[in-house]
Structure 1
């Protein structure tokens, strides 16, 4: 029986308080390098405002060999994807599926969302990320309990995670874990970094977005971040802590170095936006 079809009745016990649909998703890839590696399988679980769901799972031809070390983790080999469509061939339909939706996943902020954005950029599809709320279930878990997805599933749902590292199994488990977290931490107070008492885990996607977004990144890779005044600063290298606009003004060649370097496409996109904004001023 497909895993989506075998979901538990969590949706009957507790429903997410949604203002628009939210899509839980998980990716299996050729590796862990955001700027280089490619998707070999994706799984999306769209949760509607009324709690009903729609699932979408498919393998992808990554147009590159899958390293054995990766295949041993997710069980997907070159032979499994050689006749599958490429991401470019599927990109438009996927963008339509995600249109108007918030996003959620397990470790999605650091990995899945950056990888997905890279694939859309390679395919020439303008996928609008701005304005979407993002809930990273791992960040709730790590801040409240400090465990892995398998342990989270056992801890919150009292079940064993079967077929771990299958995109579909992982994302169903992630959805169930979030619902269990909402129930477990309802009205639970913790102290924030300033010592203020807060109730961080609420049945509200915007509140969860704020709680699980650990850093205020300009780009997904965190090469640029916002300072306390909301200005973009570099977060790596010899210019770490310096304003991006000032660096681009004082050392224009740094822009060319980054654009020609092995940085994610989305990092280059945001850098270019800042550079164009400077020129427009």
Structure 2
């Protein structure tokens, strides 16, 4: 297939099938990547992965992948380097990718080698965010609405990936130049055939991918869960240093721990010096 996105660099649209939805504990069992190139071509790679843990039956019933199907497949560690090379220089896109697929992929890479896959200088386009803000539903509904097609083999990574790319293409064709009103009453035109603009619309306010931290209205980083929800991260670290240790020693995603450590180190002179 081809696409009509205006790209300055490749856009890797991808989808994961996993053992579950816990970013810290669960593992990838299948990944499909549709790498949309600036020349309009698309390169598709789909691979099953041995998760090195049993696949719960409730997950297998959703995506149709069972322990027997992946027992002879390579582990993520074995294919991480080639996958990182395939994704090198790519911006990233998917359906609900900011909340699930990107955090899960980042976590798998961090588990193997924290230097292997860097998300800095990449743009993130979450097709679900565009869909929910412009036409509030699921990937199957989006595919029917924008492409007037029925999504066969839903929850197959490749079918979902290719449908997501088609939906993104159709969203841009439909919404480019369309104005919407923000919560502040301002009129904006959020959709353009430009990955940087789409990144700003769908992904500009990410602190950590699991959203344990977030930006408040003043663009200050606050905790987004638990007893300190809404409080400035820097204030909590200053007043309750043990909270940092508690997060580091408990079941939080490595990405969250990494971002929190960066915040702590960047303010260490004033907070802990």
Sort the TM-score into its range (normalised by shorter chain): over 0.9
TM-score, reference length from structure 2: 0.95
Q: Is the 8 A contact 1:92 1:125 kept in 2?
A: no
**C-alpha separation in 2, matches of 1:153 and 1:220:** 26
Count of residues in Structure 1 that have an aligned counterpart in Structure 2 = 269
Asked if 1:33 is matched to 2:22, the reply is: yes
| One of 96, 100, 110 as aligned partner of 1:107 | 96
Q: State how 1:58-77 maps to structure 2 within 5 Å.
A: 58-77=47-66
In the other structure, the counterpart of 2:167 is 177
Q: Structure 1, unaligned stretches of length 5 or more?
A: 1-6
Counterpart check, 1:256 vs 2:254: no
TM-score after normalising by structure 1: 0.92
Deviations 1:142-201 (A, max 9, x none): 111122111111111111111100000000000001111111112211111111111111
Tell me the equivalent position of 2:141.
Answer: 151
- 1:275 is matched with which residue: 254, 264, 271? 264
Cα distance between partner residues in 2 of 1:251 and 1:84: 45
Counterpart Cα distance in 2 of 1:76 and 1:122: 23
CA distance in 2, matches of 1:279, 1:208: 34
What displacement does 1:229 show? Answer: 4.1
Question: How many angstroms apart in 1 are the aligned matches of 2:148 and 2:223?
Answer: 43
In structure 1, the residue corresponding to 2:267 is in which secondary structure?
A: helix
Alpha-carbon distance in structure 1 between the residues aligned to 2:269 and 2:113:
25
SS at match of 1:109: helix
Q: Offset at 1:280?
A: 4.5
Q: CA deviation at 1:57?
A: 0.7
Segments of 4+ in structure 1 off by > 6 A?
Answer: none
DSSP-derived class of the 1:23 partner? strand
| TM-aligned CA deviation for residue 232 of structure 1 | 2.0
How far apart, in 1, do the equivalents of 2:16 and 2:257 lie? Answer: 23
Aligned position for 1:83: 72
Contact 1:91 1:125 in 2 (8 A): no
**CA distance in 1: counterparts of 2:17 and 2:144, whole angstroms:** 22
Which segment drifts farther, 61-70 or 198-207? 198-207
In 2: Cα distance, 1:76 partner to 1:172 partner: 19
Partner Cα distance (1:157, 1:273) in 2: 43
- Report the alpha carbon displacement of residue 231 of structure 1 after superposing the two structures with TM: 3.0
Residues 1:191 and 2:181 are matched in the alignment? yes
1:17 lines up with 2:6 in the alignment: yes
The CA deviation string for residues 42-72 of structure 1, in whole angstroms up to 9 with x for no partner, is 0011111111111111000000000000000
Shift of residue 237, structure 1, vs aligned partner: 1.4
Deviation at 1:125, TM superposition (A): 4.0
Q: CA RMSD in A?
A: 1.3
Aligned positions of 1:170-249 closer than 5 A: 170-213=160-203, 216-249=205-238
Find the counterpart in structure 2 of residue 137 from structure 1: 127
Contact 1:26 1:112 survives alignment (8 Å): yes
- CA offset at residue 217 of structure 1? 2.9
Counterpart-to-counterpart distance in 2, 1:239 and 1:187: 41
